[in-house]
Amino acid sequence: MDERRKPLIAGNWKMNLDLAGAVSLAREVLLRTASFGSVDVCVLPPFPLIQAVAGVLDGSAVGFGGQDLSKEDEGAYTGDVSAKMLLSLGCQYVCIGHSERREFHLETDESVRLKTGRALTAGLVPIVCVGERLAERDSGDTFMRVERQVTVGMGGLSPDELARVVVAYEPVWAIGTGRTATPAQAQEVHEYIRKLLSRMAGDVIALRMRILYGGSVKPGNARELLAQKDVDGALVGGASLSAESFAGIVECAG
Ligand code: PGA
């Protein structure tokens, strides 16, 4: 990882935990990660649990945010959650275009683009997820897929807006499967993404932007992944549900 970029370790809790479980996990994460000042840390609880987590983390070094947001501002959109709502709970971050949203909610690069715009307008830091499926990797289409996700999903943003975006590269075949990309496979795609960002926002901004790796990151493989030049942190699913393993990953980034 480049010295100029402060690593970010984000815990994606997905659809896990309940109120009591979320509060106790947030407390433990805070306790165990408070001493790592050289790393940005955040957690992404399910929507109904954000307010309780905010009660624990507000004003602390551990940030928090949503796992998704609506592309609309407000109105008759049953089940959706707006940027304004997240902001009013104290959220700083929001995950956008996670592969599970793309797969189960048919999200497209175009909806990712609209949501990213919403997040930026509200002052939230979007963590925009990209990554190829196994069939795309096997057929040699990884770069083509990722290029489309980056250029369309973050299309039309000004260089200043892009500078506030965090990109997360998550090969779909590595998510929740225990199968991690090798550090070299991750670095190769991260470097490619940074080249795309350079083309979109210029070298100076692209060099400042953080590109996280996600997909079965654990304390045992985090150090090697995070040691790659263009890997600036991690988006952690399963291992973020244990404060001990999540803190172990944060430690690897410090
Ligand atoms: P995982 O999930 O760490 O459980 O593979 C990562 C993610 O989906 O963000």
Q: How far is the CA of 202 from the centre of ligand 1 (A)?
A: 30
Which residue, judged by its Cα, is nearest atom 9 of ligand 1?
A: 237
**pLDDT score of 35:** 85
**pLDDT score of 3:** 59
Choosing from 107, 132, 170, 190, the catalytic residue is 170
**pLDDT score of 110:** 98
Catalytic annotation on 105? no
Full set of structural domains in the chain with CATH: 8-253 (3.20.20.70)
**pLDDT score of 237:** 97
Residues 164-202 have pLDDT tens digits of 999 999 999 998 888 889 999 999 999 999 999 999 999
Residue 93 has a CB neighbour count (10 Å cut-off) of 23
Residues 23-47 have pLDDT tens digits of 999 999 999 998 888 999 999 999 9
**pLDDT score of 185:** 96
Give me the tens of pLDDT residue by residue for the chain, a chain 254 residues long: 665 799 999 999 999 999 999 999 999 999 999 888 899 999 999 999 999 999 999 999 999 999 999 999 999 999 999 999 999 999 999 999 999 999 999 999 999 999 999 999 999 999 999 999 999 999 999 999 999 999 999 999 999 999 999 999 999 999 888 888 999 999 999 999 999 999 999 999 999 999 999 999 999 999 999 999 999 999 999 999 999 999 999 999 98
**pLDDT score of 176:** 85
pTM (two decimals):
0.97
**pLDDT score of 178:** 82
Catalytic annotation on 100? no
SS (H, E, C) the chain: CCCCCCCEEEEECCCCCCHHHHHHHHHHHHHHHCCCCCCEEEEECCHHHHHHHHHHHCCCCEEEEECCCCCCCCCCCCCCCCHHHHHHCCCCEEEECCHHHHHHCCCCHHHHHHHHHHHHHHCCEEEEEECCCHHHHHCCCHHHHHHHHHHHHCCCCCHHHHCCCEEEECCHHHCCCCCCCCHHHHHHHHHHHHHHHHHHHCHHHHHHCCEEEECCCCHHHHHHHHCCCCCCEEEECHHHHCHHHHHHHHHHHC
Which residue, judged by its Cα, is nearest atom 3 of ligand 1?
A: 237
Q: How far is the CA of 167 from the centre of ligand 1 (A)?
A: 14
